[in-house]
Amino acid sequence: MWDSESESVAGRDYGDGILTSSKHSLKTDGFELRDQSWYVATDIPSDLLVRIGDVNFHLHKYPLLSRSGKMNRIIYESRDPDLNKIALDDLPGGPEAFELAAKFCYGLAVDLTAANISGLRCAAEYLEMTEDLEEGNLIFKTEAFLSYVVLSSWRDSILVLKSCEKLSPWAENLQIVRRCSESIAWKACANPKGIRWAYTGKPPKVSSPKWNDMKDSSPSRSQPVPPDWWFEDVSILRIDHFVRVVTAIKVKGMRFELIGAAIMHYAAKWLPGLIKDGGGAADEGSNSTISNSNSSGSSSWKGGLHMIVAGAKDEIPAVQAKDQRMIIESLISIIPPQKDSVSCSFLLHLLRMANMLKVAPALVTELEKRVGMQFEQATLADLLIPNFNKNETMYDVDLVQRLLEHFLVQEQTESSSPCRQSFSDKHMYEGSQRGANPNAKMRVARLVDSYLTEVSRDRNLSLTKFQVLAEALPESARTCDDGLYRAIDSYLKAHPTLSEHERKRLCRVMDCQKLSIDACMHAAQNERLPLRIVVQVLFSEQVKISNALANSSLKEAGESQFQPMVPNRKTLLEGTPQSFQEGWATAKKDINTLKFELETVKAKYLELQNEMESMQRQFDKMTIKKQTSAWTSGWKKLSKFTKMTPLDNQDIGSQLPATAEQTRKTPRRWRNSIS
């Protein structure tokens, strides 16, 4: 990856990385490779065959036994002095590392580099080449080279950590991974102004860069060192080593937005399916995060060196899916808890892949909460996450519902008790306090309305899901319901078989008074809406037009007090635009038709009532007996007077006193007859 560095280590003489050992060595001109076998160029015949994998080493016992405790033990435990074959298939570093160790045993010069030092150090530990056998043995010298040369160099630390990927668990047990991670973290957190070592930097943006730009970046140039200078070098590491480096960087106190930008850069390189289109570059997304931690982060990233080749669009091979799942789970676990450490667009793309690859539910829930923290920064394209259950809706509406709920819970928590959060909540959402922000709710309301308009075209979307998502936000979040009306109209178009009750239920989520004049005019002529909603819209439109004209007349007259009344109907019609007049004429005709139908129903009701009363009177006459006593006649007359209407009382007002007097006398005669 890099050329050899010109970093010098003063006071440390390692012969430019060349190890030699003159003790117990045989005179030889070196090693010779014939087919798959190594031979020592000497006149003494070989007496030991060491087999490592498919490679054979024809060596001598004495140089190996004098420096390797493991070789001593193998031959001693075998109880066979004539043993001449040994297999070391589990030796870390493979044939390459054993070749260097064998050359060291023969006293040949061994060139130590960042590419071979980790394998040679692990092989020396495996062969037990300790100081007990010989002073200055291979373990001591490789350990010294690691400590004094490798760990003091930025590039060597990266390369050694990269070479440790094939040396597990030896590299972990020997603390090579930990020491390299610490060294990288210290240098990454250093002040960019004090950097004196070379680094790779970002790849050139243009397709045909100049010759000078193709060289590695260097701090000796005139331009200052950018704060993200270490992103490209660290991104070549395997995910577990990258996590170790980022964890060490967090401990050192680096800014969380820089850590988030490094994570996005790494994801763009190792997850080729994270961003579908190739527009944009990873460095643009990271720059926006570094320059402004509160940016929306809607930029995309361009993949670089891919560990996994993208497979078919429909299905991902099992091996690739397993590796990508591990990368996603690791990245979710190291994202800084502060808000805006990564962009909302990146989180939603990560969430899309997490659902597709069946990531652990606990991590998916945590990722959803992170999206809810900055949900107002999302875009419609990011929210259109496919539903991977083929029997349900095209887009995952339930996921958006959960994201919206997390956003509302976060808003409610911050507005009600911003200082009373538990310790775990503070740790989880540290730096996310922003107080109640009505503008955030308004942006989310517009986003939800746009999302509803898009998903309403799906015939599998149930009315309940649409209604629940539309009513999730409080009424104060929407100052205008035009977006919601557009979504309702789109849903009615895609679902023409809805009953009248279902259409009324759907339109109930909309407030007609929050519609603009243009939306009112469209709704007044919309045949898909229920008639009751159309009447409400027409009334709201009339009020809006009247108030708008009144306000305009007040502005022209320079009056300071608001008067919503218009002088007369003629003035209203003259000041109304022609399009409004045509719409109002149609609406007025519908209203007059409804009034006429109502008056007709009232007239029929009165007519039926009169007929019923007439029939009742005729029935009463038929039931009266021909012969009645004086008491019965007087009592019926009294009952008749009490049942008369006020109008009948006025017609026979002159006869009322006489009848009352007769009524008073009748009981007296009844009492006399009894006595």
The strand pairing partners of 144, in sequence order, are none
Tens of pLDDT along 159-210?
999 999 999 899 999 999 999 999 999 999 988 776 666 667 655 443 333 3
Which of the residue ranges 177-181, 219-223, 407-411, 493-497 would you say has the lowest mean pLDDT? Answer: 219-223
> Torsions phi, psi of 98, nearest 5?
-65, -35
| Residue linked to tokens 């899309």 | 352
CA–CA gap between residue 45 and residue 60 (Å, rounded): 8
Cα 39 to Cα 46, 49, 58, 106, distances in angstroms: 8, 10, 5, 12
Which of the residue ranges 95-99, 111-115, 145-149, 302-306 would you say has the lowest mean pLDDT? Answer: 302-306
Average pLDDT over residues 213-228: 60
pLDDT over 80 (residue 556): no
Residue 662 CB contacts under 8 Å (≥ 6 apart), including other chains: 634, 637
Q: Which of 116-125, 189-198, 658-667 has the highest mean pLDDT?
A: 116-125
Contact 274, 267 (CB under 8 A): yes
CA–CA gap between residue 644 and residue 651 (Å, rounded): 11
Tens of pLDDT along 60-101?
888 898 899 999 888 888 777 777 889 998 999 999 999 999
Q: Which of 61-75, 253-267, 546-560, 568-582 has the highest mean pLDDT?
A: 253-267
DSSP 8-state symbol, 217: B
CA–CA gap between residue 491 and residue 465 (Å, rounded): 12
Which stretches of 417-494 are DSSP H helices? 423-428, 438-455, 463-470, 482-494
Q: What does the chain come to in residues?
A: 675
* Chain centre to alpha carbon of residue 486: 26
Contact 406, 369 (CB under 8 A): yes
pLDDT of residue 646: 47
Contact 503, 466 (CB under 8 A): no
| Residues above pLDDT 90, as percent of the chain | 40
Tens of pLDDT along 13-64?
444 456 555 455 556 667 888 888 888 888 788 888 999 989 999 998 888 9
The strand pairing partners of 57, in sequence order, are 38, 50
Average pLDDT over residues 209-236: 65
pTM recorded for the entire structure: 0.70
